[in-house]
Structure 1
Amino acid sequence: MNGISVIIACFNSEKVISTTLRYLQNQKNTEGIAWEVILVDNNSTDNTSDTARNVWNHQPIVPLTVLLEETVGEAHARKRGIQAAKYNILSIVDDDNWVAEDWIFKINGYFQNPEIGLIGCAGTGEFEENPAAWFSDNQHAFAIGRLYEGDFTDITEYAIVPGAGLSVRKNVYDTLFRLNWKPFLEGRVGNKQSAGADSEMCYITRLLGYKIYYSNLLHFKHFTASHRISWDRLTRMTEGFGQADVFTLPYKITYEESQGKRSLMNSLRKKWWFNFLGKKIALLLKDPFQFIAPPPFSKKELNRIRNKAFCETIWVERKKFEGSFSYLENISKGNILL
């Protein structure tokens, strides 16, 4: 049905979910727009579900469905919510995203264009404590700040938006589920830091023939607790980005070739050893002694961490990497995967 399903995957979100839901309850200009909220409790050990129900019952402007997904992992929780969604547009809101009062109104308007498959936006930082000086140069890693200019921009060529606040057509997921698609990247699992699942969603949506857009007019505040802004977390996220790069690369190459951009370079990039050696050589040229500076790291050290994680991952996953191209080609052709 035409409408918007807001999906919130939660793990031990008792302390933040109340404010997130209250912002959703403050939506304006939604007359004539069907929408719902689906909260998936990913086997929390706190009172996430009861807290959510209590807050919503004070102002139940649209239906709230609370589901339990016992298999821990953000990907599992989102899939549970997506399968339960009534409506054709999915708005993926994190448990700490405080959406603007015109959130539903704007998303509804944007998706009137049938060519658009996915829309991302920028979050504004809302901090428990003022972050350190180094944060502003690294805010994109925390899903805060603008990635592109312009009010509403076609960024299909780049196809990367932050996962927080991402909206996508349910038909994308319905198609992928029908084809038995299994993502390469799993997303966050409990408190384990990982990366790349949202980028993979952008790339697979583009591969299915949809356009990707980015809006600077679609606003939300990204509440960030002080313990979530640390060099240790940034380092772990950077490692996660490097690991994810191994399996976002096949999406990029497959898309380029689908657009007629076949080349010797792309043929070589399909070989695990070519990418491995390229990153290794780059690491040695930039830092022959593998020196690690103390925090706060410069961009150079962060790039080194990312490249090192890429090399370690592609070495372990070399067979899976080279098989990913035929896998994605089948997806793009609509072949059901065994």
Structure 2
Amino acid sequence: MDGISIIICCYNSVTRISPTLQHLASQRTCNQLSWEVLLIDNASTDNTAQTAIQLWESFNSKIPLRIINEPRPGLSFARETGLQDSHYNIAIFVDDDNWLKEDYIQIAYNTINANKGIGILGGRVEAACEIEPPAWFEKSKAHYVIGEPYSQTGDVTEDRATIYGAGMVINKAAWKKLKASGYKSQLSDRKGSQLSSGGDVELCFALKMLGYRIYYHKDLVLKHFLPKARLSWNYLEKLFPGFALAEIYLNCFQYFYSNSYSEDNYKHTIYKEFRKKVCDKLFNQKRNLVYLYLKGVPEGNRHFLYLKFYVVQLKFLMLHKKTFYAYLNYLNSFKKQISESTGR
């Protein structure tokens, strides 16, 4: 059906969900636009669902709210369940700490309908910090999904082809075609309190490989609430291992999009190239590497964070070669299926 489904994925969201729902209830849309709110309760152990129902009723919104349980922990699982159970042809991913600007839904609907080739649409994200952010935050805000990733509205498929997962708008026809092609996410994003990443970018790359466009609109704006606990150097450090592992998988996706591998030993060729790049980066910084292991990461020093990043990557490549090869096999099979079904 024509309309928009808002998919909110929640894990123990009692303390965060109220302003998120309030901003949804305050959306300004034309009377002809049908939309719904789906709250995916992703293995919560608190009263998230009951609290959300009570809050939504208190806002006197005419828009329906549905609660759907997803017992498998993981943001990607929750989002997939939301897409499967949603009623409308456009979906928007909203995290439990995302506050959409009042015209977000209408702009998303208008943009997708004016550009039928769009697979994914996204916008910019502003920070709503509980406390004054530390001095290092401005240079590291992208790691918190904060910022304006592109300078102007338009097609970014041939640029970085990535959109923030917060507020991501999905063309469900594209998603259904992707699922029919055999696509299965290999990056599950966060699981409960575990910090991992990459599922959003993986979806962008997969739809790009399928032939859909990735689009950015600067007037799609939301605020991302950052509590005091996240505005610490220790928290940022904990994010980086997930970033490091995700980059390995996502770089593989980029390789397969840009290249064809016909030789039997293509996996070994890619593996050696990846390992060499990481080793070169670490070798050039060997003095800092010694300091890193003796002293840890100095607060505010992003240079040392990236040293730790490359150490994580090298450990993975050395200790999990079979896992790396298995992912390459999956990508090779996925690309062949797309080629056979689309002729691309």
TM-score by structure 2 length? 0.90
**3-state SS of paired residue (2:119):** strand
**3-state SS of paired residue (1:333):** helix
Out of 186, 209, 222, the residue aligned to residue 184 of structure 1 is: 186
Change (3 A) 1:281 1:239: same
State whether residues 117 and 172 of structure 1, in contact with CA within 8 Å, keep that contact through their aligned partners in structure 2: yes
Superposition pairs of residues 262-281 of structure 1, within 5 angstroms: 271-281=270-280
Change (3 A) 1:162 1:334: farther
Q: Distance in 2 between matches of 1:197 and 1:325?
A: 15
Asked whether 1:309 is paired with 2:315, we answer no
Q: Match for residue 214 of structure 2?
A: 212
State whether residues 183 and 334 of structure 2, in contact with CA within 8 Å, keep that contact through their aligned partners in structure 1: no
Deviations 1:188-234 (A, max 9, x none): 10000001111101111111111111122111111111101221221
By how many angstroms is 1:304 displaced? 1.3
Change (3 A) 1:138 1:186: same
Out of 101, 116, 119, the residue aligned to residue 118 of structure 2 is: 116
By how many angstroms is 1:326 displaced? 1.2
Q: Which amino acid aligns with 2:72?
A: T
By how many angstroms is 1:327 displaced? 2.5
Superposition pairs of residues 45-194 of structure 1, within 5 angstroms: 45-58=45-58, 59-112=60-113, 113-150=115-152, 152-157=153-158, 158-194=160-196
For structure 2, list consecutive stretches of 5 or more residues without a partner in the other structure: none
By how many angstroms is 1:178 displaced? 2.5
Q: Distance in 2 between matches of 1:229 and 1:180?
A: 39
Out of 334, 339, 342, the residue aligned to residue 328 of structure 1 is: 334
Q: Distance in 2 between matches of 1:67 and 1:270?
A: 44
State whether residues 3 and 108 of structure 1, in contact with CA within 8 Å, keep that contact through their aligned partners in structure 2: yes
Q: Which amino acid aligns with 1:190?
A: G
By how many angstroms is 1:269 displaced? 9.0
Q: Match for residue 233 of structure 1?
A: 235
Q: Distance in 2 between matches of 1:27 and 1:54?
A: 19
Deviations 1:162-190 (A, max 9, x none): 11111111123212332342211111100
**3-state SS of paired residue (1:222):** strand
Q: Distance in 1 between matches of 2:340 and 2:238?
A: 36
TM-score by structure 1 length? 0.92
Deviations 1:113-150 (A, max 9, x none): 11111112111111111111111110000011111101
State whether residues 119 and 174 of structure 2, in contact with CA within 8 Å, keep that contact through their aligned partners in structure 1: yes
**3-state SS of paired residue (2:234):** helix
Give the 4+ runs in structure 1 shifted more than 4 A. Answer: 267-270
Q: Match for residue 203 of structure 1?
A: 205
Q: Which moved more, 1:131-140 or 1:173-182?
A: 173-182
**3-state SS of paired residue (2:68):** strand
**3-state SS of paired residue (2:239):** helix
Deviations 1:50-70 (A, max 9, x none): 111011112232111111111
Tell me the number of residue pairs that the alignment of Structure 1 and Structure 2 aligns: 329
Asked whether 1:299 is paired with 2:302, we answer yes
Q: Match for residue 33 of structure 2?
A: 33
